[in-house]
Amino acid sequence: MDQFLAHAKRTNMRTVLQFHNHSFVDLITNSSSELFVCNSKKSIKAFKRLIEELAAGVSGQVTITPAELFTTIFEEPDVCRVNFDLSQYPKRDEFESFNTYDQYRQNPIYIECQEAVRAYQAANPRPDGKKHTAKWFAKVRELEKPFDERQRATEMAMYRWAFEVNGLPWIYKEGPNYKNNEAFWEQAGPIRTAVSYGYKLKKGQILLLSAGDNSVPWELMEKIENSIPCQRFHLG
């Protein structure tokens, strides 16, 4: 599914820290002024200062500078724009039977398709030559189609539900090209990652993605996890 590649490339093998942030307040000047606008640039700025403060206390051979903290160690903090909890999806069982690795392999439609593929491959060994190989693969894909179509349909139905729950307009355009749907995947990408790695998303939650695989010194990771309520997910 090539439309996922751009998002997958961005996240694969990295670590995401999901913070359980509740609210942010600035200067309090009156007890009746305690409800402040969340997710503003100011709350992210305060959060970055907090991470900087924790990083400054990390002893090591190399001192982490604020400049590299959000370039080579972490990406810029992101604020989650959607709520998502797969356990609330009314058609969760159906979705998972087509879309989670440990379940779709038990799906009767998948098994049937794979049996048909295996029978075809046994009767028709993979030929030589580009043209013949392309035809052979086309036939294999055709035999896999009943499952692939259901998989895609159930996945898109899940996204449609997630968009509805969040009051987002359905902007997906039919077609295989990722570029046709960049705006859609911008919103759906984090949902897909959350499904893949089994976590929930909460609107307003701060997400901190490592800049690369193992880019966060363990001492800093440990300090953040011990200082601020959060969960770590390795996007392996």
Partner 1 sequence: MRTRTEESANYHSVFIDGKTLRFQIDPDRPITELRFPEFYDVGINTWCGGRCSYCYTDAKAAGVHFPQIAAKIQQFFGAMNLNERPYQVALGGSGEATAHPEFTAALQAFRELDIIPNYTTNGMHLSDPVLDATIEYCGGVAVSCHPHLERHWRDAIRKLCQLKIKLNLHVVVSDRESIQQLTALFQEYQPLVDYFVILPYMTAGRAAKRPIDFQALEAWVDSVQDFGNIAFGSNLFEFLGDKARWDLSLYPPEIMSKYLIMDDGLSLYNNSFQMKRVHRP
Footprint of partner 1 (CB under 8 A)? 19-43, 46-47, 49-50, 53, 167, 200, 202-204, 227-231
- Our CB check for partner 1 shows the closer of 51 and 209 to be 51
Rounded to the nearest 5°, which phi and psi values hold at 216?
-100, 120
Which residue, 183, 101, 149, is CA-closest to 1?
A: 149
- Our CB check for partner 1 shows the closer of 80 and 143 to be 80
- Our CB check for partner 1 shows the closer of 76 and 115 to be 76
- Our CB check for partner 1 shows the closer of 157 and 228 to be 228
Q: For the CB of residue 18, give the shortest distance to partner 1 in the complex, in Å.
A: 8
- Stated length of the chain: 236
SS3 205: coil
Which residue, 225, 204, 166, is CA-closest to 21?
A: 204
- Tokens read off for 114: 């794979």
- Our CB check for partner 1 shows the closer of 64 and 113 to be 64
Type of residue at 231: Q
Q: For the CB of residue 120, give the shortest distance to partner 1 in the complex, in Å.
A: 48
Q: For the CB of residue 121, give the shortest distance to partner 1 in the complex, in Å.
A: 47
CA separation, residue 26 to residues 37, 38, 43, 90, 139 (Å): 10, 10, 9, 39, 62
Q: For the CB of residue 231, give the shortest distance to partner 1 in the complex, in Å.
A: 8
Q: For the CB of residue 50, give the shortest distance to partner 1 in the complex, in Å.
A: 5
